[in-house]
Structure 1
Amino acid sequence: MIFGKKREAVTVKTEKPRAEPYEIHVMPVKFHKYLALKKKLNWGRIFLVVAIIFIVIAIMAVAAYYFSQQIEKQQTWPLANTNQVLPINNANQNINQNINQNINQNINQNLNQINENANLNENLNLVVNTNANENLNANLNENINANLNLQPPPPPALNYSSNIDTDNDKLTDTEEEIYGTEKRKPDTDEDGYLDGSEVVNGYNPKAAGASLLENSGLVNKYDNPSQQYQILYPSIWLARPVDQSLKEVIFQSASGEYIEIMVEDNPDKLDLVEWFLAQSPLTDLNLLEKKTTKKGYQVLISPDKLTYYIKRDSQPELVYVLSYNIGNKTKVNFLSTFEMMLNSLNFIESQQPAANTEQ
């Protein structure tokens, strides 16, 4: 049977070693030393390889350490890190002390230099700033003054205007009645001058030639010896002092408008602009005007053109104020008369008893 043959084959194979068909020879003892030597040489090679690897690693470590030290020397590391690398505590202490001393000395020296520089800068800044401010202010003031002088601002808008003037001769119809001139004829005496211009300059508008208004009977002269002035006013008006000092006198018209003259004290003998600003400090200087009267007196004109300020050289401690009070009117009648009174104002030098004389 096929199945039985397979069992026989297996039995034969297991029995072959028992038959000992081969001879076993043992290596002679004399060759044992060569075998031992061969084994020793193999361990030496292993040791050699390991040693070489270790040496290479050590060299690489040393090289890495060397290069790291070189890099640290090139960089500005904190002093504390270099101290930690040193292996000896005493060396660290000495080095720290020396380094700290040097650092402290350097820092103190630098701080002292900084303080000196700060003081120097402060002084320089003070000097430079002072000079710069002075120069800048001076330049600004010069430029501002120059600009103000070159380009004065436009005059302020007035809240009033002259009343009806039919013939446009600079006299309102109401003033034509005062001076007896023609309302529809600008040059009543036909002398080539407008009636209003003649009145303002002190001439009689009804008579040709050099006939003076003062001698026409159309005006009166108010003489105030105690305050040392004389002034003309329309003869149909009423002149009345406010009190016995005669420092304030009112010239009253029938329309309710009036012109008054006052004498104000100027103890510091300021010029007109300074005195005016002391009374009205918020006023813009550019709105003030100056002019000279027919008698040669310097006059400061208020922004609304309704007040004149006059100062005489012989009495700088006084200021004379001539003002036109229009009340709430927006149409006024006596602007030319107001200017005529200003031009007629004359100061007298002799002292006389107080009196009120009408002519």
Structure 2
Amino acid sequence: MFDENPLQSNVFPGQASNPYGQPGMVGPGGEAVTPSSDGIRSAVPAGKAEKHIHSMPGKFLSSPGGKQKNNRTLIFIVIALALVLLGGGLLAFFKYANPENTNTVTNTVVTNRQTNSNANANTNGNQNVNANTNGNGNINSNANANTNTNLPTIVKGSLTDPETNEKISSATLTIPSGALPSSVTTVSITTLPAELGAYATSEKYQAVGAVFVVTPSQTKLSKDASLEVSYLDSELLALGFSVKVSDLTIASWSKNEWVPLNSVVDSKNHIVTTKIDQFFADGMAIVAPKPTATNTNVNTNTSTTIVPSLDSDADGLTNQEEILYGTNAGSTDTDLDSYKDGQEVLALYNPNGSGKLVTASLVKIHENTTYGYSLYYPPSWTVGTLNADKLVTFTSITGEFVQASVQENAGGLSAREWYLSLNPSVSQSQLRDIAVGSLRGVLGPDGLNVFLADANYIYQVTYNIGIKTEANYLTTFTMMYSSFLAGLAPTGTNTNTSTNANTNANTNTPTNSNTNGSSNTNGG
């Protein structure tokens, strides 16, 4: 081969040295060599046509060792590809052919689908049942057919304070299936305040909370229906006389008097239940017997028929009250000012030092700006209001409490006249006249109720000992009503709840009301 370098000399065996590229060059056979136009030498024998010989530069030629190296690289690549394919095959085999993996994937998918299915079924099912859609037509038809023979019709009504939105009383009427005449397709309950109109004129009973009128009135039932009526303790306290829960009963209004029905009292849940075979035209209500000369043990020589709790030093304060005012239960005159501790409290003075109760911070002043009055109460007692400030409760640590309530005095009556108009069976001698500031009033026969009157309102202050047999705060009760002050400038107007009447009607037919539970329409 010829070297590509034109400057290097090439000598053939047996020939004299002659550098290429010089005139007169000869090749290995003695032929003349002439340079070609591309710089590659050609040897042309004499007498023959010129031939061109080309050679590849050495840098493009591979040595035997490089070829062997390339072969090894190729083998490595082939082996690597084979290993990759083998590994991928094994992975695919274990992933898709292994039974445990198959079960795991299957279970996960099934579980998710089951959850979604249940959620959709519940939602759609409820919507369709309430809407009675065509898709559930057969289901509703069967349910109604069964309901007509087995399930009762339930109608509800309630009386709610329009200002506080507090539920005063509620009634639930459960009518057995088939008890209603075929002509009656709608049953409703209208609620009225218990103090409305003629309901307050009964001589024997006082309605509690609300009166419930069921329509169509005078409907006769072929089976007895059950009537449940709820009550609040605050409504019992607002009556103005002590009431035993066991004496409560449901009564129907007839000929200007309440007629008691056979009832069962559930004092734990505050519910009274009775059975009825008709819808009384003038309404039904929970009633409490009014106190009379024969059923109330009244001692007209004292201000109370309740026994006070222990008073160790006989100073007019019970031992519980001694704690309340910080006095000495072993001394009748803690501050040694010659006045007994109980006397000072009744006069609104500090029994354990100089000054008055209010300046000594032994009492607080509650101001009812809605009805324009104020009174003292012990600072440790809690205060609660109901019926837009119409009823205020002061509760002690023993559970006993004092309440202040307000009622309309439309006729401008005196406290005595007003009380006797509601309790005609009570004799004049059973009431004791009292004066509190500019107000005049009476102390009720039981000694636990005080009634004060002005031109607009009757103010009532009541002491309730709850289930206790002895009273811990009789002197404190007297102190509280003795501090009563009317005439504060009211900031609000009194709303007479007697104008409030709520009607809760069951507009469903007996069939639909049974299926939907009736309460969906009435809202309780």
TM-score (norm 1): 0.52
Task: Give yes or no for contact 2:414–2:441 (8 Å, CA) kept in 1.
Answer: no
Report the Cα offset of residue 189 of structure 1: 0.5
Report the Cα offset of residue 331 of structure 1: 1.1
Aligned to 2:434: 291
State the number of aligned residues.
195
Identity %: 31
From the superposition, tell whether residues 285 and 221 of structure 1 become closer, same or farther in structure 2 (CA, over 3 Å): same
Q: Structure 2, unaligned stretches of length 5 or more?
A: 1-297, 494-524
Cα RMSD over matched residues? 1.9
- Give the structure with the larger helix fraction: 1
The 2-side partners of 1:154 and 1:236 are apart by: 32
Matches within 5 A, 1:171-186: 171-186=317-332
The 2-side partners of 1:351 and 1:328 are apart by: 36
Matches within 5 A, 1:242-321: 242-243=386-387, 245-293=388-436, 295-312=437-454, 316-321=455-460
1:190 alignment partner, one of 336, 340, 343: 336
The 2-side partners of 1:178 and 1:242 are apart by: 26
- Give the structure with the larger strand fraction: 2
The 2-side partners of 1:287 and 1:240 are apart by: 31
For residues 287-324 of structure 1, what are the alpha-carbon distances to aligned partners after superposition, in whole Å with 9 as ceiling and x for unaligned?
1110222x242121101111000012xxx131000010
Aligned to 1:333: 472
Structure 2 letter corresponding to 1:302: G
For residues 210-253 of structure 1, what are the alpha-carbon distances to aligned partners after superposition, in whole Å with 9 as ceiling and x for unaligned?
x010111111110111110111100000011023x101000001
For residues 136-186 of structure 1, what are the alpha-carbon distances to aligned partners after superposition, in whole Å with 9 as ceiling and x for unaligned?
xxxxxxxxxxxxxxxxx9628965211100011100000000000000011
From the superposition, tell whether residues 154 and 188 of structure 1 become closer, same or farther in structure 2 (CA, over 3 Å): closer
Structure 2 letter corresponding to 1:194: K
Aligned to 1:25: none
Higher Cα Rg, which structure: 1
Matches within 5 A, 1:17-96: none
For residues 49-96 of structure 1, what are the alpha-carbon distances to aligned partners after superposition, in whole Å with 9 as ceiling and x for unaligned?
xxxxxxxxxxxxxxxxxxxxxxxxxxxxxxxxxxxxxxxxxxxxxxxx
Task: Give yes or no for contact 2:404–2:460 (8 Å, CA) kept in 1.
Answer: yes
1:161 alignment partner, one of 278, 291, 307: 307
The 2-side partners of 1:199 and 1:349 are apart by: 24
The 2-side partners of 1:156 and 1:216 are apart by: 34
The 2-side partners of 1:349 and 1:165 are apart by: 36
The 1-side partners of 2:305 and 2:428 are apart by: 20
Task: Give yes or no for contact 2:299–2:305 (8 Å, CA) kept in 1.
Answer: no
1:192 is paired with a residue whose SS is coil
2:486 alignment partner, one of 337, 347, 350: 347
1:218 is paired with a residue whose SS is coil
Q: Structure 1, unaligned stretches of length 5 or more?
A: 1-152, 355-359
TM-score (norm 2): 0.36
Report the Cα offset of residue 349 of structure 1: 3.8
The 2-side partners of 1:286 and 1:198 are apart by: 29
Structure 2 letter corresponding to 1:204: N
For residues 85-141 of structure 1, what are the alpha-carbon distances to aligned partners after superposition, in whole Å with 9 as ceiling and x for unaligned?
xxxxxxxxxxxxxxxxxxxxxxxxxxxxxxxxxxxxxxxxxxxxxxxxxxxxxxxxx
From the superposition, tell whether residues 296 and 193 of structure 1 become closer, same or farther in structure 2 (CA, over 3 Å): farther
